[in-house]
Structure 1
Amino acid sequence: MKFTEYLFEENKELWEQYLVHPFITEIGEGTLPKEKFLNYLIQDYLYLKEFVRVFAMGVVKAKSIEEMKLFSSAIGGSIEDEAATHIKYMEQLGVSIEDAEKCYLKINNRSYVSYMQSISLTGSLKEIVMATLPCTWSYYFIGEYLLENYRDNLLENYYGDWIKSYSGHEFKDVVEKWIDYTNELCSNLTQDEKVSLNTIFNQASIYEMDFWEMAYEDLLEKEMV
């Protein structure tokens, strides 16, 4: 069994909860209130800014040029590709980049990024990958599910572009590249190492669920820094 298969099996029950979360199902149905989506967009935009700092530490700790390129590409992809979808929707909903930059990280979001950044500072490359992989991988897991189950509604769905961005071939290629790298990096682990790395992967997966909860339940953050 490949290591990522082990991770998926260990966290499958939690990941399947993403698919029935009201934020996700209402995205698929196209019924999610736009103020909730805007709240999510702003917080995720702020999250991506901090997320890339974790990959930057991956560049620092990389052992080879190829690893440096991989972590560097993750920085560019997060800032340019993912952020572009967020910016497009935010502007449609009347919030500029400058407005978003002035918003606070909410406590769930701050806790998540602090966890990843602490791992990046003190941990190994393996641990950095465990802290970041659930975000990238689970978004494709969700996007693929939404595309499969709400395909007929996609053209009329306000959130169709969001679904397509996380279920498309380009994003799939990124995810598969990270899965392949993870399996290469984490080959020949002891059982204790597997358990230890899965603990980080699981905690990051829990933070992903907390993020959906935060986005669905909280009101739009009006306070500015």
Structure 2
Amino acid sequence: MKWSEQAWLSIEPIYESILQMPFIKELIEGTLPLEKFQYYLMQDSIYLEHFGRALAIIGARATHIPDMLAFFRFAETTIVVENVLHESYFKSFGIVDKDNIQPACHHYTHFLKSTTALEAVEIGMAAVLPCFWIYKAVGDYIYQQQKGLNNPYQKWIDTYSGEEFGIAVKSAINICDTNATQTTVAIQDKMTEAFIMSSRLEFDFWEAAYINRRWR
């Protein structure tokens, strides 16, 4: 069994919990309250800036040149292309200024940057993978489950269920699998631990948007 297959099995309960979240169910129906999606967009915009930096750190530390180039491309796509998507949403939903970073986003981004900077590079690769893989899986699920037309969140759904994003996800998975085969069992175990932690933080990120979790 590939490392990625074993890693996904380890987070299946988390993934299933994500699919059952009110945030996801209401995205499917197009009934998610605007203020909850606005919170999500503003925090996600902040998150993507830090996520892009984490990807660049992996690129700088990658052992193999193709991996280095792949992660630099991931970083560029994250910062440039996805920020364009958010800017279009900001205009559509009347968002003028970004919010301050809130607890869930703060926790997740600091976990990613500290892991990619201080742990073995393979562990960093595993830590950023859920943001690729879970988003693609959730995007596909929402796309398949849609029940009506004129969903106000259709552009977001199309982005994460699209073929172009799917290619990037497969590339990130393959890179993790290749690097896992070339490292120690101990590092593989830590890769799985990082993958699980980031998956938990994915759940927490969506939950925070739904309940409007903020600093006290």
The match for 2:107 is 111
2:156 to 162, 168, 171: 162
Aligned counterparts of 2:3 and 2:165: Cα–Cα separation in 1: 21
TM-score of the two chains, using structure 2 as the length reference: 0.94
* Equivalent position to 1:128, from 118, 124, 127: 124
How far 1:190 moved relative to its partner?
4.9
* Aligned match of 1:83: 83
**Deviation readout 1:90-123 (Å, 9 max, x if unpaired):** 1111123xx11xx311011101111111111111
Per-residue CA distance 1:123-154 (angstroms, 9 max, x = gap): 1221111110011110001001011111x52x
Partner of 1:18: 18
TM-score (norm 1): 0.90
Counterpart of 2:89 in 1: which secondary structure? helix
Q: CA RMSD in A?
A: 1.5
Residues 139-179 of structure 1, C-alpha deviations (whole Å, 9 max, x = no match) = 001001011111x52x4111111111100101111101111
Residue of structure 2 equivalent to 1:146: 142
Distance 1:193 1:121 in 2: 15
Against the structure 1 CA distance between its residues 67 and 194, is the aligned structure 2 distance closer, same or farther, given a 3 Å change threshold?
A: closer
Give 2:31's aligned residue: 31
CA contact (8 A) 2:58 2:68 kept: yes
1:164-203 correspondence runs (5 A): 164-187=158-181, 190-203=184-197
Question: 1:58-116: CA deviations, max 9, x gaps?
Answer: 122122331221111111111122222222111111123xx11xx31101110111111
Q: Deviations over 1:181-224 (max 9, x none)?
A: 111111155544332221111111111111011110007x7xxx
Identity %: 32
1:22-79 deviation line (CA, Å, top 9, x unaligned) = 1011001000001110110000000001111111211221223312211111111111
Pick closer, same or farther for the CA change 1:147–1:81 going to 2, 3 Å.
same
The separation in 1 between residues aligned to 2:106 and 2:166, in whole angstroms, is 27
One-letter identity of the residue aligned with 1:202: I
Give, in whole Å, the separation in 2 of the partners of 1:33 and 1:201.
Answer: 30
Alpha-carbon distance in structure 2 between the residues aligned to 1:106 and 1:140: 24
SS in 1 for 2:55: helix
**In structure 1, what is the Cα distance between the partners aligned to 2:138 and 2:106?**
23
Q: How many residues get paired?
A: 214
Q: Closer, same or farther in 2 for the Cα pair 1:174/1:23, shift >3 Å? A: same
Where does the alignment leave 5 or more consecutive residues of structure 1 unmatched?
none
- Structure 2's unaligned 5+ residue stretches are none
